[in-house]
């Protein structure tokens, strides 16, 4: 593993840069929407944001 440390760091650097560009252009939301639409299991997880505790926290955070 130690022999590959430089390559691992470079790979994660590239991945980080790709995600940064993705977020800068708003593509992350498009990808999230695509995943939620295509993967039924993820759709079931959206109930978490509908709980009262989460809703209250979101209301407090809103400008």
pLDDT tens-place string over residues 35-60: 888 888 877 777 777 788 888 888 88
For 24-47, letters b (16+ CB in 10 Å) and e give eeeeeeeeeeeeeeeeeeeeeeee
Q: What distances in angstroms separate CA 62 from CA 10, 23, 50, 55, 57, one per listed residue?
A: 38, 21, 16, 11, 9
**In this predicted structure, what is the pLDDT of residue 17?**
96
**In this predicted structure, what is the pLDDT of residue 47?**
74
Gap between the Cα atoms of 58 and 63, Å rounded: 10
pTM of the shown model = 0.49
- Is the distance from CB of 62 to CB of 54 less than 8 angstroms? no
Above 70 in pLDDT, residue 63? no
């Amino acid at each position: 593993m130690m022999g590959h440390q430089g390559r691992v760091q470079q790979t994660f650097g590239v991945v980080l840069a790709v995600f940064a560009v993705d977020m800068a252009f708003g593509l992350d939301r498009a990808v999230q929407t695509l995943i939620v639409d295509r993967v039924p299991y993820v759709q079931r997880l959206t109930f978490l944001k509908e709980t009262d505790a989460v809703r209250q926290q979101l209301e407090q955070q809103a400008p």
